C-alpha cells in the first residue's frame, strides 16, 4: 500500500516512519531502553455531522508520519499512543495478568477541526472513542501477532486492524522473536479419526453391507436479486440506487463456506453525500455496508464491511476500506449482469449477480445510462479469439522451426 524504503528510526523523541507493511514504532523508557514495540496497520471509518442534520463518512488511514508522545511504560502497565495529523491519536492500554498480558482498551481521538479530513463538519471538538479489543492471553516476553483483519465497531467509528505485531512489555532492550498469535490466525486442526480395538471375527455367516455412497455438496442456486434505495428524507426521491444478488464466501480456519444473501425482509439505511455515500442492508443473519466515493468525475466502491453468522452459527466480521471497484462516471450507473467475484480480504470473497449501482447523480429516482463491465461488453468475446490466434501462431512457429532444423540436419549428413 505504501512504497517507502524499509528503515526504522528509533523513537527516543517519539517519531516513526511508515513501512510497506505498516507503521513501525519503538518506544523507549526513561533509561532509553526499548519498552514497547509495535508494527500495525489501522484504518478508520468515521461518521460525522454536517449542516442540515446530515452526516458524512471520512475514511482515514494511519499516515506515514506519526509520533509516540504520551506513551508510557511500567512493570505492570503500559500505554502505546500514536499521534498523527492535526490532533488525532490512537492509543492502546496494556496490563499484566499473571504470566500473560492483555489490552484493556483502545482509544481513538479524532479532531473534527481538521477540515482536510472532516470537511463541512459542524463541530471543531476532539471526540474520543473507547472500545475493548479482543487481545488477551499474550504470553510475557512474546509479541502479539494478528495478520487477519479485525474490525472493531462503535456507534460512529469503525476501526479495522490487520498485520498487527505488538510487544507491550519488552525486556532485555530487544523485541522478542517468539509469537503469540490471535485466534483468527491459528489454523483449526481436525481431530484425528477415532480408532477402535479389533474384535474377533464373527463365526456366523453375514451378508455384506452395501457400500455407502457419498452425497456431493449441493451447489448453491443463484442468489435472489434485491432492489435497494436510499432517500435524503421521506419527501424526496431516491438519491442512491442499487440492485444485485450477492453470495458471500467466508473462510474460518480451514473451513470455507458460501452463503447467499437473502433480500427478502431486509432493512435498508444509508446516506447520500457530495463525495461519499453509504448503503447498509441488513438481513436476519448479515449486515453489509457499502461506501462509495467520487473524485467529481468517477465514482467507485471504496469500502465494504460485512458482519454476520454462518449457517453453523459462527460469527464473522470482515472489512476492506481501500477498494476501487464498480467504477463509472458520476451521473451514470455501473452495471454488470455476469457473475463477478472479488477477494475482499484473505477470509472474505464477494460474488455479485445482475449488479447495477448508482450512488451519485440520481435523477427522478431512476437509474441513469449504464456503463457496462467488460464481461457484459461486446468486446469480451475477443479474448478467447485472441488467445486462440496467439496459440495458432505459436504452433506455426514451432512447426517451421522443426522443419528448418530437419532440413539442416539432412544437409549435414549429405556433406559427410
Question: Could you tell me the maximum CA-CA distance found in the chain, to the nearest angstrom?
Answer: 98
Which carries the bigger pLDDT value, residue 42 or residue 218? 42
> CA-CA distance, 63 to 85, in Å (whole number)?
8
- Give yes or no for a contact between 274 and 293, defined as CB atoms under 8 angstroms apart: no
Measured CA to CA, the distance from residue 250 to residue 233 in angstroms comes to: 35
Domain with residues 15-185, CATH architecture = Beta Barrel (2.40)
Write down the pLDDT at residue 213: 45
User: Could you tell me if 146 and 164 are in contact, meaning their C-beta atoms sit under 8 angstroms apart?
Assistant: yes
Give the Cα separation of 65 and 15 in Å (integer): 7
Q: Are 245 and 223 in contact (CB under 8 A)?
A: yes
Asked whether this chain's domains 15-185 and 226-379 adopt the same fold, the reply is yes
Kindly report the backbone phi and psi dihedral angles of residue 389, in degrees, each rounded to the nearest multiple of 5, phi listed first.
-65, -45
Q: What is the 3-state secondary structure (H, E, C) of 270-332?
A: EECCCCEEEEEEECCCEEEEEEEEECCCEEEEEEEEEEEECCCCCEEEEEECCCCEEEEEECE
Q: Residue 69 has which C-alpha cell? A: 508522545
Per-residue confidence (pLDDT) for residue 111, from 0 to 100: 94
Model pTM score: 0.45
pLDDT of 371 strictly over 90: yes
pLDDT in tens, 144-202: 999 888 889 887 899 998 889 999 999 888 999 899 988 888 765 555 555 555 555 55
What share of the chain in percent tops pLDDT 90? 53
For 226-379, the fitting CATH number among 2.40.160.110, 3.30.360.10, 3.40.50.720, 2.40.110.20 is 2.40.160.110
What is residue 220's predicted lDDT score, i.e. its pLDDT?
87
* pLDDT score of 149: 83
Of 23, 133, 162, 131, nearest in space to 83 by CA: 23
Among 258, 415, 275, 416, which residue's Cα sits nearest to residue 359?
Answer: 275
Nearest to 176 by CA among 36, 365, 57: 36
Predicted confidence band at 4 (pLDDT cuts at 50, 70, 90)? very low
pLDDT attached to residue 11: 33
Q: What is the mean pLDDT of residues 373-377?
A: 80
Contact 327, 308 (CB under 8 A): no
Can you give the pLDDT at residue 298? 95
Share of the chain above pLDDT 70, in %: 83
pLDDT band at residue 384 under the 50/70/90 scheme: low
| C-alpha count within 13 angstroms, C-beta hemisphere, residue 397 | 6
Q: Which residue has the cell 440520481?
A: 362
Neighbours of 88 (CB within 10 A): 21
pLDDT tens digits for 316-332?
889 998 999 999 999 99
Contact 268, 277 (CB under 8 A): no
In the predicted model, what is the mean pLDDT of the chain?
83
Beta-carbon contacts of residue 384 (< 8 Å; ≥ 6 apart)? none
Query: What residue segments make up the domains of the chain, in order of their start?
Result: 15-185, 226-379
pLDDT number for residue 377: 72
The pLDDT value given to residue 208: 52
Q: What is the pLDDT of residues 193-252, one digit of tens each?
A: 555 555 555 554 544 545 444 444 457 899 999 999 999 888 899 999 999 999 999 998
Over residues 337-361, the pLDDT tens digits come to 999 999 999 999 999 999 999 999 9
pLDDT value at residue 12: 33
The whole-angstrom separation of Cα 163 and Cα 181 is 11
Q: 91 pLDDT exceeds 50? A: yes
Amino acid at each position: 500500500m505504501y512504497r517507502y524504503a524499509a528503515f526504522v528510526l528509533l523513537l527516543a523523541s517519539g517519531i516513526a516512519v511508515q513501512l510497506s507493511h505498516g507503521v513501525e514504532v519503538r518506544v523507549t523508557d526513561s533509561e532509553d531502553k526499548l519498552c514497547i514495540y509495535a508494527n500495525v496497520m489501522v484504518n478508520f471509518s468515521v461518521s460525522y455531522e454536517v449542516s442540515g442534520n446530515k452526516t458524512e463518512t471520512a475514511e482515514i488511514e494511519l499516515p506515514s508520519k506519526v509520533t509516540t508522545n504520551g506513551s508510557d511504560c511500567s512493570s505492570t502497565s503500559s500505554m502505546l499512543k500514536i499521534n498523527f495529523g492535526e490532533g488525532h491519536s490512537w492509543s492502546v492500554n496494556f496490563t499484566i495478568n499473571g504470566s500473560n498480558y492483555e489490552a484493556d482498551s483502545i482509544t481513538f481521538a479524532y479532531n473534527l477541526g481538521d477540515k482536510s479530513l472532516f470537511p463541512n463538519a459542524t463541530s471543531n471538538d476532539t471526540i474520543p472513542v473507547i472500545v475493548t479489543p479482543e487481545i488477551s492471553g499474550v504470553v510475557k516476553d512474546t509479541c502479539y501477532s494478528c495478520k487477519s483483519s479485525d474490525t472493531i465497531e462503535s456507534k460512529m467509528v469503525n476501526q479495522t486492524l490487520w498485520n498487527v505485531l505488538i510487544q507491550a512489555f519488552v525486556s532485555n532492550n530487544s523485541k522478542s522473536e517468539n509469537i503469540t498469535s490471535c485466534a483468527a490466525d491459528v489454523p483449526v486442526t481436525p481431530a484425528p479419526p477415532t480408532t477402535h480395538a479389533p474384535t474377533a471375527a464373527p463365526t456366523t455367516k453375514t451378508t455384506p453391507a452395501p457400500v455407502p455412497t457419498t452425497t456431493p455438496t449441493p451447489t448453491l442456486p443463484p442468489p435472489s436479486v434485491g432492489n435497494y434505495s436510499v432517500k435524503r428524507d421521506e419527501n424526496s426521491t431516491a438519491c442512491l440506487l442499487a440492485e444485485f444478488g450477492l453470495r458471500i464466501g467466508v473462510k474460518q480456519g480451514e473451513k470455507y463456506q458460501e452463503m447467499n444473501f437473502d433480500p427478502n425482509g431486509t432493512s435498508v439505511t444509508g446516506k447520500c453525500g457530495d463525495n461519499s455515500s453509504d448503503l447498509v442492508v441488513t438481513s436476519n443473519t448479515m449486515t453489509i455496508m457499502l461506501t462509495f466515493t467520487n473524485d467529481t468525475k468517477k465514482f467507485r466502491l471504496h469500502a465494504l464491511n460485512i458482519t454476520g453468522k454462518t449457517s453453523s452459527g459462527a460469527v464473522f466480521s470482515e472489512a476492506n476500506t481501500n477498494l476501487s471497484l464498480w467504477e463509472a462516471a458520476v451521473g451514470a450507473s455501473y452495471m454488470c449482469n455476469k457473475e463477478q467475484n472479488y477477494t475482499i480480504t484473505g477470509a472474505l470473497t464477494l460474488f455479485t449477480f445482475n449488479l447495477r449501482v448508482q450512488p451519485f447523480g440520481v435523477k427522478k429516482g431512476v437509474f441513469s445510462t449504464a456503463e457496462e463491465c467488460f464481461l457484459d461488453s461486446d468486446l469480451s468475446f475477443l479474448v478467447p479469439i485472441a488467445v486462440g490466434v496467439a496459440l495458432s501462431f505459436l504452433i506455426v512457429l514451432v512447426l517451421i522451426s522443426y522443419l528448418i532444423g530437419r532440413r539442416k540436419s539432412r544437409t549435414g549428413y549429405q556433406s559427410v
